[in-house]
Structure formats: C-alpha cells, structure tokens
Amino acid sequence: MTKDSLGKGSTSNKAVLSWVAEMENLCRPSRVYWCNGSRAEAQALTGQAIEKGMLIKLNQKKLPGCYYHRSHPNDVARVEQSTFICTKDQEEAGPTNNWMAPREMYQKLRTLSEGAMRGRTMYVVPYLMGPPGSSLAKVGIELTDSVYVVLSMGIMTRMGTIAFEQLGNDDDFNRGLHCMLDINPERRYIAHFPQDNAIISVGSNYGGNVLLGKKCLALRIGSYLGRQEGWFAEHMLILKVESPAGEKTYVAAAFPSVCGKTNFAMMIPPPYFQGWKITTIGDDIAWMKPGPDGRLYAINPEAGYFGVVPGTNSRSNPNAMEMIARDTIYTNVALTPDLDVWWEGKDGPPPEECQDWKGNRWTPESEEKAAHPNSRFCVPMAHNPVLAPEANDPQGVPISAIIFGGRRTDTVPLVFQAFNWVHGVYLGATMGSEMTAAAVGGAGQVRRDPMAMLPFCGYHMGDYFRHWINMHRLIKHPPRIFHTNWFRKNGKGEFLWPCFGENMRVLKWIIDRCHGRIDADESPLGWVPNPKSFDLGGMANFTPEKFAKAQAVNNEEWRREVILQEELFMRLYSHLPKELIFQRELLVARL
C-alpha cells in the first residue's frame, strides 16, 4: 500500500457509495477520507492527531507505540440518558430504553448534522465485527469526523478493506454516522434505528458512545437482530480453560461494566493449579448461535480491548500490564513529567507530581483522583499474552457454561448453579449490581441489570427474556448456567473472597459441574458447592469457615431481595414471560 493511496475509496459497492454521498451532502465536510486499515494509514493519522493536539506521544522508550488522549471533561463515560432506541412503536423499545419515533429522531439529528463537518474531514471507516468468513460476522461503516475514533476503531475492529471484501456487493451493512459537534451534553444523542440497522451518534467523543461497532452495533442493534435471526448478542467475556490433561472448556460470563470481565478473561491461575491455563477469546461481547452439533457457539466480534485502567496492576491482571505496555491509546489517565502514564492502583508509589486527567497539576496530596475512574486503555487483542487462537476462528467456540454475576456487597453468595435453563434465565433476569463509573451518574446504587444488558438491550427487556427462554429449544446441548459474586463483604467492609487468580477455584468447580464430575448441595438459590468438593488447597489463610461465610444464604436477606427484584418485573409486566413469575414463586417457596 503506497502512501499516495491513503484516503482513496476502494469499493464499487453501490449501496455504500450512494449512502456515503448522501451523508457527505448532509455534513458537508471539506474532504472525505476512505480508510483502508493499513499500518501506513494508522501512522499517518496518528501523526495528524498529534499535530492537532488530539494525541500526545508517550515516552517511546517506556511505552513503544503508545499515545495519550484526554476527552472533554463533560464527556468521560456512556450517557444512558442520551441513548435512544428508535423503533417504530415505543412498546417495542420497552420501558428500560429511552425512545423517540424514528422520523422525529432522524429529523432532529439531520438538523444537528447539517453542515456539521464544514472545514473538517469525514473519515469513512469500514469495519468487520467477527472473524473474516464467520457466518456470525457483520459489517458496519462508520462515518466520523474524529481521528481518535478512526484510530480506536482500527484497534477495536477488523477495520479497512477487509470489511469491503466481506461485504461484496451486498447492502447489508450497519450505517453509522458520528459527528462530534461541540461536545455539548445538551446536544448529545446516541440514537439507534434497529429496523434500519443504523446508528447516529452526535455530541460526544467518548469511546462507548462513538466506537459504534462496540455497544451500539455489537449489543444494541446486535441484540435486536439476534432475536430476529435466532442468536444471542451478549455483554459477555469468553474464555478457555485448559486442564493439565489438555481438556478444553469454553465459558462465557456476563458481568456489568467495571465488574472485572477483562481481569477474569485474562486470569492467571494460582501456583496450586499448576498446569491449568486460562486463555481469552473475548473480554466484553459474545455473539452466540446454536451450531449443527446442538451446542451453542460463540465468537468475539471485537479485535481489541477498551478496558478500564484504574485498579489494573501486576496483582489484579499481570497479563494486562504486559499487554498495555505497547501500541496502546490511553484516555483520561494521569500523565507524568517523563511522558509515562499513571493511575490509581498502579504498581509502586504515586509520582511526586504529574498532570491529572484534566491536565491540572496533581500531587499525592491532591484531593481529586489523578486518573478518571473510567479512564481507559485501547489495545489490539493480538497483544494479549494469553490470547486463545480461537479468537480468530470463524466457527467460534462451543460454550459449556454461562456465568451471570453482579457487584453486590451483601446477600449474594460467591457461586451457585441454576437448577435448569429457565431457572438460569431467571438468575440472569434478576441480576442486581452496584453501579460504577462506566456510566454517568448513580455510582454505588444497586440497580437491576439483567444479564448485564440493561444499558445495551435494543428492544423490550421482557421480550429479551422470552428470546432467552425460546432459544433453549434450538440448543440441544445447552450450557449450564451459574451465578457468581466476587464482591461480597463482611461487616468490617473486607472482601469475603480474595478474587483475582483465586477465582480459578470457582471456575474449576463450574467446569467440574458442567462435565458431571462432582455432586453439589441443594440450596434455596440453586446448587451450591459441597464444601468437600470445592478446592481450597494451597490457600494459606483461607479456612473452610471463611468459605462458608462467602457462600452463606440468609433467607431474611433473600426475602428482601425478592421484593427488590419485583420492581423491574412490575415495569416489564406486560411482556414478562410467565415462566419467570413461576420461578419467583418457586424461590419464595424454597426460602
């Protein structure tokens, strides 16, 4: 690829050409740049981003290929109140989504986008979600006036000519338009038009709102298409567990944002589990479809990780520390005088002085945090030292276990297993979690976050539960379903379970259950580990009594929990599958 060919169009697909021309006519950029996804292109655009002050080149000796970005202080997280699902009928979007009629929203956003790229470049970003050739993969095209978005999409997706190759002359691609405007929260809309497979995002330049392949296409539009086409688009990591004997088991897990999906997917088992290996297929999103052998197959549609930085260190995620030491875009962390990065929870002492995420002088005495709690790294998955080769397998991997887990200080035990599929759907549907910095507002409050999909489901949550129940019929060998909670604390505020690598023990129990190797005890909540068959070997200070505390089921707390769960069920009532109401009755009867 020569430098001269950068920015030139490379498709004869008529649907693409006419849509890009239409959007050019609307946004009136001074230039249209077609991305091809090459290294030369990334280098040239990085150079331009540095010139414009969008990126700062970090210390290349310490962090080769790494760059630093600050977003506008009013634009640091997903904004759920500005996120809309524009189905024809409001009923279809359901009570948990903001809704506006498509015609009204198109009108509003056309007005905002009119001439919005005057004097600017419109980048045409073709991208492929999923391994090339996969029957589950989907093509999207994002038109954006942000070079930060182009560079990030180049990391997060299979971006460039490869997408046009997959698309051919088809017009089945997601149409995404992103205009930064003036980054004004008053004029910020992340609007999804599932019936048109289209997205328009204006007024933001924060990842989750503008990297349209991720939350917008892979989850909101994806979930809508998945229901029509008989597959699942889920907010789940995918990992492979390999035993010393070479047995491979694939597990998917739904935890809400900032609840440790990336750490779990890259976990290093403790020394006691010598010979066991965890490798990563995905850290955030799973697309899953029944395969011809009756098992549920999953792919990771992404090609990079957009992970939360604070708290990442050589104890919580040593693999990530290695991964983000090169070719990484850091957003909203702190910047040290020697152009290194720092964040709360990084190994070692804080720097004596640095610039915080807003560019202000920061010292350890400062009251504010140096890195924003939702600061991010953006890195190619190929740099993950424990990437599973299956991450690039168009067939995907057969899933044996699905785990649902929230962040709960009390009530919810470390691990339990659903009695059956519908009970598992109930566990996912009633999941609660304390809110985190990934979204604006409400941090710390428990809210229902069914299947970790509350902010990401592109249609009525009640119909989404129905889809989960119905899919059972299409999966002859369904995965077993589990629930975990790593975050339970005692009265003194101390965690009851040590987490990180020790989570391998929970995973081992889950896998043994899936392969029918161990018995479990019955509890009102589901199957729980029999203390004799849960391996605590090699844990110096962790006694069976401590484990019993992490596993305790307090019936009083659970009666309260059922009442709290009711709130969401009442909101969804008109579309709520009766099966879930029966599950609630059964749970109450068991308590």
Contact at 8 Å (CB) between 287 and 471?
no
Q: Which of 284, 327, 502, 512 binds Mn ion (CB under 5 A)?
A: 284
| 257 is an interface residue for Mn ion by CB under 5 A | yes
Q: What is the largest CA-CA distance in the chain?
A: 71
Nearer of residues 306 and 421 to ligand OXD, judged by Cβ = 306
For residue 556, which phi and psi values (nearest 5 degrees)? -60, -50
Q: Is 259 a catalytic site residue? A: yes
- Whether the CB-CB separation of 418 and 498 falls below 8 Å is answered with no
Residue 260 Cβ vs ligand OXD, minimum distance, rounded to whole Å: 12
- Cα torsion 454, 456, 457, 460 to 10°: value is 60
**C-alpha dihedral over 451, 454, 455, 458, to 10 degrees?**
90
Of residues 35 and 438, the one with the C-beta less far from ligand OXD: 438
27, 66, 259, 457: which is the annotated catalytic residue? 259
Binding site for ligand OXD (CB under 6 A): 78, 208, 257, 284, 306, 438
Tell me the residue nearest to ligand OXD as measured from the CB: 257
In angstroms, the CA 471 to CA 479 distance is 12
Check if the beta carbon of residue 409 is closer than 8 Å to that of residue 434: yes
Q: Which residues are registered as beta bridge partners of 241?
A: 249, 278
Report helix, strand or coil for 399: strand
**First CA to last CA distance, the chain:** 66
Instruction: Label residues 214-230 b or e (16+ Cβ within 10 Å = b).
Output: bbbbbbbbbbbbbbeee
* Residue whose CB is nearest to Mn ion in the complex, by number: 284
User: CB 69 → ligand OXD: shortest distance, Å?
Assistant: 15
Residue pair 424/254 in contact (Cβ under 8 Å)? The answer is no
Q: Which is nearer to ligand OXD, 156 or 572 (CB)?
A: 156
Contact 157, 304 (CB under 8 A): yes
For the CB of residue 263, give the shortest distance to Mn ion in the complex, in Å. Answer: 13
Task: Determine the length of the chain.
Answer: 591
**Nearer Cβ to ligand OXD (154/577):** 154
DSSP result, 23-75: HHHHH--SEEEE----HHHHHHHHHHHHHTTS-EE--TTTSTT-EEE---TT-
Instruction: Please identify, using beta-carbon distances, which residue of 306 and 486 lies nearer to ligand OXD.
Output: 306
Task: Report, as residue numbers or ranges, the catalytic residues.
Answer: 259
The residues that touch Mn ion, with contacts defined as CB under 5 A, are 257, 284
